[in-house]
Amino acid sequence: MARSKTLTAGLFTMMFLAPSILAADPDPLQDFCVADLDSEVSVNGYPCVPTSEAGDDFLFSSRLATAGNTSTPNGSAVTRLDVQGFPGTNTQGISMNRVDFAPGGINPPHVHPRASEIGMVTRGELLVGIIGSFESGERLYSKVVRAGGTFLIPRGLMHFQYNVGAEEASMFVSFNSQNPGIVFVPVSLVGSNPPIPTLVLTRALRVNASVVELLKSNFASGSYFIPRTVE
Protein backbone atom coordinates (compact mmCIF):
# COMPACT_ATOMS: atom_id res chain seq x y z
CA MET A 1 0.00 0.00 0.00
CA ALA A 2 2.81 2.42 0.92
CA ARG A 3 4.58 1.69 -2.37
CA SER A 4 1.35 2.28 -4.28
CA LYS A 5 0.92 5.68 -2.61
CA THR A 6 4.52 6.57 -3.42
CA LEU A 7 4.07 5.65 -7.09
CA THR A 8 0.82 7.61 -7.24
CA ALA A 9 2.49 10.67 -5.69
CA GLY A 10 5.38 10.35 -8.14
CA LEU A 11 2.98 10.13 -11.08
CA PHE A 12 1.14 13.27 -10.02
CA THR A 13 4.45 15.11 -9.51
CA MET A 14 5.52 14.24 -13.06
CA MET A 15 2.15 15.40 -14.40
CA PHE A 16 2.49 18.77 -12.69
CA LEU A 17 6.11 19.20 -13.74
CA ALA A 18 5.54 18.31 -17.38
CA PRO A 19 3.93 21.63 -18.42
CA SER A 20 6.74 23.64 -16.84
CA ILE A 21 9.36 21.52 -18.58
CA LEU A 22 7.66 21.89 -21.95
CA ALA A 23 7.14 25.64 -21.53
CA ALA A 24 10.80 26.59 -21.94
CA ASP A 25 13.23 26.35 -24.84
CA PRO A 26 15.04 23.01 -25.15
CA ASP A 27 18.11 22.65 -22.96
CA PRO A 28 21.48 22.96 -24.75
CA LEU A 29 23.47 19.79 -25.30
CA GLN A 30 26.84 21.51 -25.70
CA ASP A 31 28.59 24.61 -24.32
CA PHE A 32 27.88 26.77 -27.36
CA CYS A 33 25.83 26.59 -30.52
CA VAL A 34 26.43 29.89 -32.27
CA ALA A 35 23.57 30.36 -34.70
CA ASP A 36 24.24 30.02 -38.39
CA LEU A 37 21.77 32.67 -39.49
CA ASP A 38 22.50 32.04 -43.18
CA SER A 39 21.76 28.32 -43.13
CA GLU A 40 18.98 27.02 -45.31
CA VAL A 41 18.35 24.17 -42.88
CA SER A 42 15.05 24.60 -41.02
CA VAL A 43 14.99 23.38 -37.40
CA ASN A 44 13.39 24.48 -34.14
CA GLY A 45 16.02 27.17 -33.69
CA TYR A 46 19.16 27.58 -35.77
CA PRO A 47 21.89 25.10 -36.66
CA CYS A 48 25.37 25.71 -35.26
CA VAL A 49 28.38 27.10 -37.03
CA PRO A 50 31.57 25.12 -36.35
CA THR A 51 33.02 26.19 -33.00
CA SER A 52 36.40 26.71 -34.66
CA GLU A 53 34.82 29.39 -36.85
CA ALA A 54 32.82 31.16 -34.13
CA GLY A 55 35.64 33.25 -32.66
CA ASP A 56 35.13 34.90 -29.25
CA ASP A 57 32.77 37.81 -29.90
CA PHE A 58 29.64 35.65 -29.86
CA LEU A 59 29.72 35.85 -26.04
CA PHE A 60 29.67 39.66 -25.98
CA SER A 61 27.47 42.44 -27.35
CA SER A 62 27.14 46.20 -26.97
CA ARG A 63 23.86 46.24 -28.89
CA LEU A 64 21.84 47.54 -25.93
CA ALA A 65 24.29 50.28 -24.98
CA THR A 66 22.78 52.84 -27.35
CA ALA A 67 19.32 54.33 -26.94
CA GLY A 68 16.90 53.91 -29.82
CA ASN A 69 15.43 56.76 -31.85
CA THR A 70 12.06 57.58 -30.28
CA SER A 71 11.02 60.02 -33.02
CA THR A 72 8.32 57.62 -34.17
CA PRO A 73 4.50 57.69 -34.20
CA ASN A 74 4.52 55.53 -31.06
CA GLY A 75 7.20 57.63 -29.41
CA SER A 76 9.19 54.48 -28.61
CA ALA A 77 11.98 52.32 -30.00
CA VAL A 78 12.76 48.66 -29.31
CA THR A 79 16.29 47.32 -29.55
CA ARG A 80 16.13 43.53 -29.62
CA LEU A 81 18.88 41.24 -28.42
CA ASP A 82 17.49 37.89 -29.47
CA VAL A 83 19.16 35.12 -31.43
CA GLN A 84 19.05 37.09 -34.67
CA GLY A 85 21.02 39.96 -33.16
CA PHE A 86 23.11 37.90 -30.74
CA PRO A 87 23.72 34.47 -32.36
CA GLY A 88 25.50 33.18 -29.25
CA THR A 89 22.15 32.92 -27.46
CA ASN A 90 21.13 30.09 -29.79
CA THR A 91 19.96 27.10 -27.66
CA GLN A 92 20.54 29.07 -24.42
CA GLY A 93 16.87 29.95 -23.87
CA ILE A 94 17.46 33.64 -23.08
CA SER A 95 17.22 37.04 -24.76
CA MET A 96 16.83 40.72 -23.87
CA ASN A 97 15.27 43.92 -25.19
CA ARG A 98 15.88 47.57 -24.53
CA VAL A 99 12.93 49.92 -24.99
CA ASP A 100 13.28 53.72 -25.01
CA PHE A 101 10.34 56.10 -24.68
CA ALA A 102 9.82 59.76 -25.46
CA PRO A 103 7.46 61.59 -23.06
CA GLY A 104 4.03 60.16 -23.79
CA GLY A 105 5.56 57.28 -25.75
CA ILE A 106 3.95 53.86 -25.73
CA ASN A 107 4.91 50.24 -26.33
CA PRO A 108 1.50 49.16 -27.68
CA PRO A 109 -0.48 46.22 -26.27
CA HIS A 110 1.25 43.03 -27.35
CA VAL A 111 1.89 39.39 -26.45
CA HIS A 112 5.03 37.23 -26.37
CA PRO A 113 3.74 33.75 -27.26
CA ARG A 114 6.92 31.86 -26.39
CA ALA A 115 8.31 33.47 -23.24
CA SER A 116 7.73 34.98 -19.83
CA GLU A 117 9.30 38.40 -19.30
CA ILE A 118 10.91 40.25 -16.42
CA GLY A 119 11.92 43.87 -16.72
CA MET A 120 13.50 46.81 -14.94
CA VAL A 121 12.86 50.49 -15.53
CA THR A 122 16.23 52.22 -15.65
CA ARG A 123 15.09 55.77 -16.35
CA GLY A 124 11.88 57.73 -15.90
CA GLU A 125 8.51 56.31 -14.94
CA LEU A 126 6.37 53.90 -16.92
CA LEU A 127 2.79 52.79 -16.52
CA VAL A 128 3.03 49.01 -16.93
CA GLY A 129 -0.19 47.14 -17.62
CA ILE A 130 -0.81 43.38 -17.76
CA ILE A 131 -4.20 41.94 -18.76
CA GLY A 132 -5.15 38.59 -17.28
CA SER A 133 -6.72 35.78 -19.25
CA PHE A 134 -10.44 35.05 -19.58
CA GLU A 135 -10.17 32.68 -16.61
CA SER A 136 -8.95 35.53 -14.40
CA GLY A 137 -11.73 37.84 -15.52
CA GLU A 138 -9.47 39.69 -17.96
CA ARG A 139 -8.39 41.90 -15.09
CA LEU A 140 -5.99 44.77 -15.74
CA TYR A 141 -3.02 44.76 -13.39
CA SER A 142 -1.19 48.07 -13.61
CA LYS A 143 1.28 50.23 -11.74
CA VAL A 144 3.56 53.18 -12.38
CA VAL A 145 7.06 51.71 -12.18
CA ARG A 146 9.90 54.13 -11.56
CA ALA A 147 13.65 53.82 -12.16
CA GLY A 148 14.96 50.80 -10.26
CA GLY A 149 11.57 49.09 -10.12
CA THR A 150 10.88 45.74 -11.74
CA PHE A 151 7.86 43.98 -13.24
CA LEU A 152 6.85 40.50 -14.39
CA ILE A 153 4.87 39.55 -17.49
CA PRO A 154 3.66 35.92 -17.47
CA ARG A 155 3.97 34.08 -20.76
CA GLY A 156 1.27 34.81 -23.30
CA LEU A 157 -0.48 37.65 -21.41
CA MET A 158 -1.21 40.93 -23.16
CA HIS A 159 0.72 43.91 -21.78
CA PHE A 160 1.88 47.45 -22.54
CA GLN A 161 4.10 50.23 -21.22
CA TYR A 162 3.36 53.96 -21.36
CA ASN A 163 5.66 56.82 -20.38
CA VAL A 164 3.66 58.89 -17.90
CA GLY A 165 6.60 61.13 -16.96
CA ALA A 166 7.74 64.45 -18.35
CA GLU A 167 11.17 63.07 -19.27
CA GLU A 168 12.43 60.27 -21.48
CA ALA A 169 12.24 56.75 -20.05
CA SER A 170 14.01 53.44 -20.66
CA MET A 171 13.61 49.83 -19.60
CA PHE A 172 15.48 46.56 -20.08
CA VAL A 173 13.60 43.27 -20.23
CA SER A 174 14.71 39.63 -20.26
CA PHE A 175 12.96 36.58 -21.70
CA ASN A 176 13.27 32.86 -21.03
CA SER A 177 13.49 32.18 -24.77
CA GLN A 178 16.05 32.94 -27.44
CA ASN A 179 13.17 33.98 -29.70
CA PRO A 180 10.14 35.05 -27.61
CA GLY A 181 8.11 36.25 -30.56
CA ILE A 182 5.76 39.23 -30.51
CA VAL A 183 2.14 39.77 -31.55
CA PHE A 184 0.98 43.40 -31.60
CA VAL A 185 -2.73 43.33 -30.81
CA PRO A 186 -3.81 46.37 -32.90
CA VAL A 187 -1.91 45.12 -35.94
CA SER A 188 -3.26 41.61 -35.57
CA LEU A 189 -6.85 42.84 -35.49
CA VAL A 190 -6.97 45.45 -38.23
CA GLY A 191 -3.62 45.25 -40.00
CA SER A 192 -3.20 41.56 -40.78
CA ASN A 193 -2.22 40.39 -44.24
CA PRO A 194 -4.58 39.36 -45.73
CA PRO A 195 -7.01 41.39 -43.62
CA ILE A 196 -9.64 39.92 -41.34
CA PRO A 197 -13.03 40.38 -43.06
CA THR A 198 -14.79 43.57 -41.99
CA LEU A 199 -17.96 41.62 -41.18
CA VAL A 200 -16.04 39.54 -38.65
CA LEU A 201 -14.61 42.64 -36.96
CA THR A 202 -17.91 44.50 -36.85
CA ARG A 203 -19.46 41.60 -34.97
CA ALA A 204 -16.44 41.01 -32.74
CA LEU A 205 -15.89 44.69 -31.84
CA ARG A 206 -19.58 45.63 -31.91
CA VAL A 207 -19.04 48.67 -34.12
CA ASN A 208 -20.24 49.55 -37.60
CA ALA A 209 -18.27 48.93 -40.77
CA SER A 210 -17.16 52.54 -41.17
CA VAL A 211 -15.29 52.37 -37.86
CA VAL A 212 -13.56 49.15 -38.91
CA GLU A 213 -12.58 50.61 -42.29
CA LEU A 214 -11.19 53.71 -40.58
CA LEU A 215 -9.07 51.56 -38.29
CA LYS A 216 -7.87 49.45 -41.20
CA SER A 217 -6.84 52.56 -43.12
CA ASN A 218 -4.58 53.57 -40.24
CA PHE A 219 -2.69 50.29 -40.60
CA ALA A 220 -2.62 50.01 -44.38
CA SER A 221 0.70 49.79 -46.25
CA GLY A 222 2.77 50.00 -43.10
CA SER A 223 1.29 53.38 -42.14
CA TYR A 224 1.17 52.29 -38.50
CA PHE A 225 4.64 52.19 -37.03
CA ILE A 226 5.67 49.08 -35.12
CA PRO A 227 8.79 49.57 -32.97
CA ARG A 228 11.66 47.96 -34.81
CA THR A 229 15.04 46.59 -33.88
CA VAL A 230 17.74 49.21 -33.84
CA GLU A 231 20.51 47.93 -36.07
pLDDT tens digits, 124-165: 999 999 999 988 899 999 999 999 999 999 999 999 999 999
pLDDT at 139: 95
In single-letter form, the type of residue at position 227 comes to P
Q: Is 125 helix (H, G, I), strand (E, B) or coil?
A: strand
pLDDT at 159: 97
pLDDT at 85: 87
What is d(CA 231, CA 221) in angstroms, rounded to the nearest whole number?
Answer: 22
pLDDT at 32: 76
Per-block mean pLDDT, blocks of 10 residues, the chain (231 long): 50 46 62 84 82 84 94 93 89 94 96 94 98 91 97 95 98 93 90 92 94 87 48 41
What is d(CA 201, CA 197) in angstroms, rounded to the nearest whole number?
Answer: 7
pLDDT at 200: 95
- Element (DSSP H or E) covering residue 122: strand 117-123
Residue 124 near residue 167 (C-beta atoms within 8 A): yes
pLDDT at 221: 53
What is d(CA 13, CA 230) in angstroms, rounded to the nearest whole number?
Answer: 44
* Backbone φ, ψ for residue 131 (5° rounding): -105, 125
- Element (DSSP H or E) covering residue 220: none
CATH superfamily, with its number, for domain 58-222 = Jelly Rolls (2.60.120.10)
Tally of CB atoms within 10 A around 217: 12
Domain ranges of the chain: 58-222
pLDDT at 230: 42
Q: Is 34 helix (H, G, I), strand (E, B) or coil?
A: coil
